[in-house]
Amino acid sequence: MKAELRYAVRQTLPVMIGYLFFGTAFGLMLQNIGYNFLWAMMISLVVYAGSMQFVLVSLLAGAFNLPAVILMTLTINSRHFFYGLPFLKKFREMGKAYLYMVFSLTDETYALLCSVWIPDHLDEKKVRFFMALFNHLYWITGSTLGALGGALLKIDLRGIEFTMTALFIVIFIEQWISAAKTTRAPAVIGLLCGLVSRLILGPDRFILPALVVTVTTLLALRPILDRKANEKGEKGL
């Protein structure tokens, strides 16, 4: 087991750097709106949703809107439904760890599981489990340290809320770049729906309508978008 542990640690070091940084930012933001390190620890332990946790900070800071929370969670994390499909058989073979592996399948863990080469002398199931576990622990640690640091060091947190904005800008840019060989229409539709909703409804009430219109439009245009994406992909070949 020690060999599997060491190998999993080495493979997850790049994730550790990112998770400690963004986890700390989340902890700082959560502490800034009045929730201590225990809340940061428990949310990261139970929710463990990366970008959705940053959205959660904004939702906790304002009036709680359950429909908005549900819709935003489904919209932001819907990609995870597809992440798990290639691993269903492998996860089921892991016995008691099955449910945890499904729960802990973040973007970074998925990327690791897809790309990692596991030597024959190591137990593949243990390595996969430890990689998922360590990534989770990195996120919990970063969140807890961020909240503790914000409380103990009295850090000036003005502007920290821009972390969430920056995160989603980066996600949008990555989507825009990765869609160069298919179609950028979904990104454009989402951007336009958000801007129009913001202009009409204002900053406090635009998110839920923008999400509803975006999802509805994408579902209605899915056959056309899929066809264009396939045509562009074939031309790229």
Contact between 39 and 143 (Cβ < 8 Å): no
Confidence check: pLDDT of 5 > 90: yes
100-114: average pLDDT: 88
Is there a contact between 57 and 29 (Cβ–Cβ < 8 Å)? yes
**Residue with the two structure tokens 């409804």:** 201
Higher pLDDT residue, 77 or 10? 10
pLDDT tops 70 at residue 107: yes
- The mean of the pLDDT values for the chain is 83
pLDDT score of 189 more than 90: no
pLDDT of residue 232: 64
Q: What is the pLDDT of residue 163?
A: 64
44-87 pLDDT per residue, tens: 999 898 878 888 887 787 766 777 777 777 777 776 776 777 78
Q: What is the structure's pLDDT at 27?
A: 92
Q: What is the pLDDT of residue 87?
A: 85
pLDDT at 227 over 90: no
Of 62 and 97, the one with more pLDDT: 97
Band of residue 160 on the pLDDT scale cut at 50, 70, 90: low
Q: 233 pLDDT band (50/70/90 cuts)?
A: low
Consecutive H or E run containing 151: helix 124-152
User: What's the pLDDT at 3?
Assistant: 92
Contact status, residue 186 vs residue 225, Cβ threshold 8 Å? yes
Over residues 128-146, mean pLDDT: 96
pLDDT in tens, 198-223: 899 887 677 778 878 887 888 888 88
* pLDDT for position 94: 92
- What is the DSSP-derived secondary structure letter of residue 202? -
Buried b (16+ CB within 10 A) or exposed e, 87-117: beeebeebeebeeebbebbbebbbebbeeee
Say yes or no to pLDDT of 89 above 80: yes
Torsion angle of C-alpha atoms 90, 178, 17, 118, degrees rounded to 10? 30
Q: How is the chain split into domains, by residue range?
A: 2-152, 182-236
SS3 annotation, 62-128:
CCCCHHHHHHHHHHHHCHHHHHCHHHHHHHHCCHHHHHHHHHCCCHHHHHHHHHCCCCCCCCHHHHH
Query: One-letter amino acid identity for 43?
Result: I
28 class by beta-carbon count within 10 Å (0-12 exposed, 13-18 middle, 19+ buried): buried
Confidence of residue 164 (pLDDT cuts 50, 70, 90): low
